[in-house]
Structure 1
């Protein structure tokens, strides 16, 4: 209570009047309740009420049901993480805080994704493993048209300086806002599609990485709104075109030593680092239901678009699902792996927690990586295995993954699966245009 009072006083003195208490649901939508700043001590002590049914909301606010969560009954409490309260640079007078969700009896809610991520990170720490993770955020900048439609803004060449010139004020404001929120921006640049950009922020522990991704996304959204624009993070923005990914980078260390360099395994990996990555690659078909959970994501996962639709890994291979990066010569401690097949419809807490669970399973089994793939996996002989090409297939693999069921627990696993099945059924007869149109404005 004392710390919460101090925070409330500090924020109030800085002109903060309202605090957004945010969590991400199983459809990947950031949900929120807000409290006046002077109510922070009460929220930190008693929590803020919310219904458990949010765990079975779909992307379009329809409500499905799981074996453990359904209907209007029950209540949970949202408890803000006081260490992560951040004044929002693009929303004057507002601050943001991620929440942990507890039962009314003060026990961890079994479907709280943030606590799941923390639990998996703790399992790794018990083995002396230190995980650092970071996300690359891609989005398309669009301007609402007079007919209610959206058109891509800043249409200069892919990766071109022309687009940076066109968007220089906008991009400057994004960088300034992120830095004001004490996020470390590594780079920001134009991407392939019209109006598309990417920003990378510094890696951190898994829970912080997920928190940071939520804050980055909502800050970009707010800066865009102040420019009269809309930021679209959906995996399919224009049907048939290259979409948005949300790539996860990870590295593994023990006693501060990077386990992806200096070893005798592939490209300098240690055996521990290799087994962890082999576990992720082994589980990737099931993980896809976590990291690419929307039918729209499978419109993006097409060959020869650098989306990572093939179940393989390679050294600096941007077409493989897992890209291994050694770093530039002399760049100490830079070696890491990038998972390219994930997108921004994913709940980032589910993503980091599930990837850790898969990596630890790889360690337990002593898995080794297959041979790396060079070049475009499409059309190679022998054929390279495709990842699931539909949400139906990915959800089937997720449903039958004993490893993920054990890691998530029956309540959270069941809620995730229920949302996947509901969204899959929602678009069972839909074509690419309908899927893209329906999901584009939600992310």
Structure 2
């Protein structure tokens, strides 16, 4: 990933970016969007949010009702804050209450697949119109605003890994291709599919930096350009659903789960971020380790300190800990390193100093990207406020060192305990959101206790 100060390419239907639209009323702007969607053959808009179990939930509305959906929203039961990945609910929820899911028209995107559809992320509001305290996207927006109040700008981007299998027996998935990791043979075998993935992302306004075969059988990775925090999380959602649609069109079954099988190398969704002030990248040009500035070092020290707790948000599924194993480049140890791919926090310092950034390798696709990025920002801001310093960087494989650093949590139960004990994250999340996250994690951990590793991998393979 490289980091820059410019935003990604404008969205296909982003009328708000056009001159003069700021003076137009919401009704007039929505009417403009509707006309453009109709001209493009779009009849329905999927409005999404991501729940605490990492599932992308949706309400679909006719394009002609887009303005009403943006201003007043559509109903979504409040109990879904406690929804689990199997569509049951954690204890503590009730059937009472309703939230309003409002479409964000600044990210409205006409989709290339499926035909006739558009997508927009949603924010959840109370009936009164106030942002819901459990809305993860609003939480991320607040975290970014808190950084801005301290003169700091965060840029973020994700690397999304996924596997593709042939349709068949779901208990025995067969990789859709052969060939070695990073191998040209695998790329050529899937060239038509990957070209369509790239073309669809480009049409959706998502800038691709890299697209290549990964380590596990049938596995690929796409890296997208950095954006503002909310935009980066939106991109993560759109990337996944784009890949899903293109895969289905090719007769393939995509998996974004942490693991396909309990003994295989898993799929991560690594988070990259950089810290800026007044147009300058604070990850470079300093006299700290790797050339980082003092503010950058303090920010990353805060993230590193809270990493065990952050795992409950970034590796939030019981199956996540089947992936999080030593010597697999998953970041299983509580340490950081300069260009060390086995460290949980890898500091990236390429020749182009504007591209210096930090990569968090221990996170995966079960995470809610809004919740995760917001929590990482809050952990970093706590580090800046407390003037924390980084420990010495780790070189080589931590697992083989005589002075081996401590492991990160090896189960969801351990990371949940760490989250419960994190004062900065609990305060930042607020009690309603924290309580909902805690209930979901505890319930999913209890469910997983009854499953073998094989069944655990199977039940979550195609959940996300």
Match of 1:419 in 2: 440
Give the Cα separation in 1 of the matches to 2:337 and 2:71.
49
**Could you tell me which of 79, 94, 101 is aligned with 1:71?**
94
Can you list the C-alpha shifts for 1:221-241, whole angstroms capped at 9, x where unaligned? Answer: 000000001110101111101
**1:153 is matched with which residue?**
176
- Superposed CA deviations along residues 60-113 of structure 1, whole A, max 9, x for unmatched, are 1111134xxx11111110110011000111211100000010001101100000
Match of 1:15 in 2: 41
TM-score under structure 1 length normalisation:
0.98
Matched residue, 1:5: 31
Q: Paired residue for 1:371?
A: 392
| 1:428 positional shift | 1.1
Q: Which residue of 1 aligns with 2:338?
A: 315
Cα root mean square deviation, aligned: 1.0
The Cα of 1:11 is off from its aligned counterpart by 0.7
Inter-partner Cα distance in structure 2 for 1:147 and 1:386:
33
Distance 1:148 1:321, change over 3 A: closer
Matched, 1:86 2:109: yes
Whole-angstrom distance in 1 between the partners of 2:170 and 2:40: 41
Secondary structure class of the residue paired with 2:122: strand
Q: In structure 2, list runs of 5 or more residues that go unmatched.
A: 1-26
| Matched-pair contact (CA < 8 Å) for 2:285–2:353 | no
Specify the SS of the correspondent of 1:247. strand
Q: Secondary structure at the match of 1:378?
A: helix
- Quick one: distance in 1 between partners of 2:289 and 2:179? 40
**TM, length-normalised to structure 2:** 0.93
Residue 206 of structure 1 corresponds to which residue in structure 2?
Answer: 229
Pairwise CA distance, 1:150: 2.5
Partner of 2:296: 273
Contact 2:177 2:190 in 1 (8 A): yes
C-alpha distance in 1, partners of 2:64/2:113?
Answer: 21
d(CA) in 1 for partners of 2:51, 2:160: 19
Post-superposition offset of 1:381: 2.1
Deviation at residue 9 of structure 1 after TM alignment = 1.2
Gaps of 5+ in 1: none
Contact 1:65–1:415 at 8 Å: present in 2 too?
no
- CA deviation map 1:145-191 (0-9, x unaligned): 16775311112111100100110000000000000011100010000
d(CA) in 1 for partners of 2:341 and 2:29?
46
Q: 1:388 to 1:146 in 2, by over 3 A?
A: closer
> Corresponding residue for 2:371?
350
- For 1:300, the equivalent position in structure 2 comes to 323
Counterparts of 2:172 and 2:411 in 1: how far apart (Å)? 28
Task: Tell me the distance in 1 between the aligned counterparts of 2:169 and 2:376.
Answer: 43
The answer (yes or no) to whether the contact 1:260–1:268 under 8 Å persists in 2 is yes
SS in 2 for 1:140: strand
Q: Secondary structure at the match of 1:7?
A: helix
2:211 corresponds, among 188, 209, 216, to 188
Partner Cα separation in structure 2 for residue 130 and residue 147 of structure 1: 44
Distance in 1, matches of 2:296 and 2:348, equals: 13
Contact 2:284 2:353 in 1 (8 A): no
For residues 272-325 of structure 1, what are the alpha-carbon distances to aligned partners after superposition, in whole Å with 9 as ceiling and x for unaligned? 000000000000000000000000000000000000010101011000000001
**Distance in 2, Cα, partners of 1:419 & 1:393:** 15
- The answer for the alignment partner of 1:171 in structure 2 is 194
2:240 alignment counterpart: 217
